[in-house]
């Protein structure tokens, strides 16, 4: 995993009026303690995985830094 993907501020804009009328980013932060919507990842080795396989990952810095 390379870094988290944060929510875009464009979600705050009303598509009809172009006014910023809903602060989705702040609502995510309040409700979940972060505004991450995904992660950027890199495949470092090919292979197969199946249901029930054990997975592991190195520690990840979720602050985006």
How far is residue 6's CA from residue 35's CA, in Å, rounded to a whole number? 6
How far is residue 24's CA from residue 4's CA, in Å, rounded to a whole number? 17
Determine the pLDDT at residue 52.
94
Chain position carrying tokens 């602050």? 63
The CA-based diameter of the chain, rounded to the nearest angstrom, is: 49
**pLDDT tens by residue, 22-37:** 888 888 889 988 888 8
Determine the pLDDT at residue 16.
92
Q: How confident is the prediction for the chain on average, in pLDDT?
A: 82
**pLDDT tens by residue, 8-19:** 778 888 889 988
**Neighbouring C-beta atoms of residue 35, cutoff 10 Å:** 19
Determine the pLDDT at residue 50.
93
């Amino acid at each position: 995993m390379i870094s988290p993907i944060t929510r875009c501020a464009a979600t705050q804009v009303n598509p009809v009026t172009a006014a910023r009328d809903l602060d989705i980013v702040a609502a995510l932060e309040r409700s979940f303690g972060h505004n991450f919507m995904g992660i950027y990842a890199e495949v470092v080795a090919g292979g197969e995985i199946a249901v029930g396989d054990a997975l592991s990952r190195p520690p990840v810095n979720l602050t985006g830094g």
